[in-house]
């Protein structure tokens, strides 16, 4: 969470002149996003009454070849009424530009704040917004592989290494091996697929009270099992931060909110416990990789892999399958 690049007022003014958004009035580097630099920009607006935007500079991880997918998806979903920010195109209708050797995009600013301790009403709203994305994304014409999806978990575990997993917790290697084997055998291949957000943590949802005002940070969005996105969101919203306590009311309202917009098929619902194990494993693996590869004192705060190992154990317990029942 940092601003990796300094942009002077002169550079920003020249950049904004390429868009029909008025003159620069304010620019604040914001501590948002893990691998991009972001600025909250205020301009005079087209009619002088002021307008705000997020300027994103893609620093790492996000491949420029993927930008048409990510930014096109925002426009596609926004046009269908989803609470996602539109991309502001430049005067030549390009959704992103280069600034020096880096790509930058100007994105609609949406109000709202990220909650730390969701209420059932908020979980219901998030479920509904996720379902809305899944329905609206049905006719999105582009595909993108899920780089952190089921097909990649073994290589992610190998990239961590057994020693590294053991250095985090003596039991972690065995847990990962057990789940990799089980998920390789049982992963459902024939459930409905669609564009998914794949990272819908509370950080990536802006809320005003119990209303979702914005879903943001679509830079893990991809094409994968639709119900897997429900499982990711369940794992992200329904536990306390360290994964020790599951909140049944949040789980129930999240699913009810989702199904009020897009009912799950019986096969999707039956697969949820397994999909949730996969979702928890995905975050165990990426967090473990970051844990062992992030130097102490680096700009990025490391997140505890064990918070998701605990969720994984929860989902692996057959007694907890009932949390996915209607």
Cβ 223 vs Cβ 145: under 8 Å = yes
181 touches its own copies by CB under 8 A: no
Q: Which stretch binds its own copies (CB under 8 A): 72-80, 163-171, 228-236, 294-302?
A: 294-302
Cβ 179 vs Cβ 84: under 8 Å = no
CB of 44 to its own copies, least distance (A): 10
What residues pair up with 37 in beta bridges, in sequence order?
A: 57
Cβ nearer to its own copies, comparing 12 with 182: 12
15 touches its own copies by CB under 8 A: no
d(CA 221, CA 197): 4
For its own copies, the binding residue among 14, 20, 31, 260 (CB under 8 A) is 31
Restricted to residues 297-326, the positions that interact with its own copies (CB under 8 A) are 297-299
45 touches its own copies by CB under 8 A: no
Q: What is the DSSP letter of 48?
A: S
212 touches its own copies by CB under 8 A: no
Give which of 46, 20, 75, 6 is closest to 221, Cα–Cα: 75
111 touches its own copies by CB under 8 A: yes
40 touches its own copies by CB under 8 A: yes
288 touches its own copies by CB under 8 A: no
Q: Which stretch binds its own copies (CB under 8 A): 105-113, 142-150, 189-197, 278-286?
A: 105-113
10 touches its own copies by CB under 8 A: yes
Convert residues 113-132 into a mask of x (bound to its own copies by CB under 8 A) and - (unbound).
xxxxx---------------
CA angle 128, 131, 137 (to 5 degrees): 140
User: H/E/C letters for each residue in 192-254?
Assistant: CEEEECCCCCHHHEEEECCEEEEECCCCCCEEEEHHHHHHHHHHHHCECCCCCCECHHHHHHH
CB of 97 to its own copies, least distance (A): 19
d(CA 37, CA 176): 33
Cβ nearer to its own copies, comparing 202 with 278: 202
d(CA 115, CA 252): 18
Where does this chain bind its own copies (CB under 8 A)? 1-3, 8-13, 24-32, 40, 42, 111-117, 206-208, 295, 297-299
């Amino acid at each position: 969470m940092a601003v990796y690049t300094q942009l002077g007022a002169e550079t920003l003014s020249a950049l904004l002149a390429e868009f029909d958004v008025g003159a620069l009035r304010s620019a604040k580097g914001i501590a948002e996003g893990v691998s991009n630099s972001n600025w909250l920009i205020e301009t005079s607006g087209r009619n002088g009454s002021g307008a705000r935007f997020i300027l994103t500079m893609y620093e790492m991880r996000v491949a420029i070849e993927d930008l048409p997918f990510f930014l096109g998806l925002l426009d596609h979903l926004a046009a269908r009424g989803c609470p996602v920010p539109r991309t502001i195109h430049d005067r030549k209708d390009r959704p992103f530009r280069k600034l020096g050797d880096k790509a930058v995009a100007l994105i609609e600013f949406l109000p709202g704040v990220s909650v730390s301790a969701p209420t059932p009403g908020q979980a219901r709203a998030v479920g509904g917004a996720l379902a809305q994305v899944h329905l609206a994304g049905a006719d999105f014409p582009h595909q993108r592989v899920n780089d952190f999806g089921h097909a990649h978990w073994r290589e992610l575990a190998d990239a961590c290494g057994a020693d590294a997993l053991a250095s985090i917790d003596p039991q972690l290697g065995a847990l990962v091996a057990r789940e990799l084997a089980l998920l390789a055998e049982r992963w459902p291949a024939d459930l409905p697929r669609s564009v998914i957000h794949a990272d819908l943590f509370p950080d990536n949802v802006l809320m005003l009270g119990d209303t979702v005002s914005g879903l943001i940070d679509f830079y893990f969005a991809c094409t994968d099992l639709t119900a897997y996105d429900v499982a990711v969101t369940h794992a992200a919203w329904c536990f306390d931060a360290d994964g020790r306590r599951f909140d049944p009311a949040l789980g129930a309202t999240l699913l009810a909110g989702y199904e009020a917009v897009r009912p799950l098929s019986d096969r999707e619902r039956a697969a949820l416990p397994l999909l949730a194990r996969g979702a928890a494993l995905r975050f165990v693996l990426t967090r473990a990789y970051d844990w062992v590869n992030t130097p102490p004192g680096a700009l990025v705060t490391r997140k505890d892999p064990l918070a998701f190992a605990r969720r994984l154990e929860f989902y692996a317990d057959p007694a907890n399958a009932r949390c996915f029942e209607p």
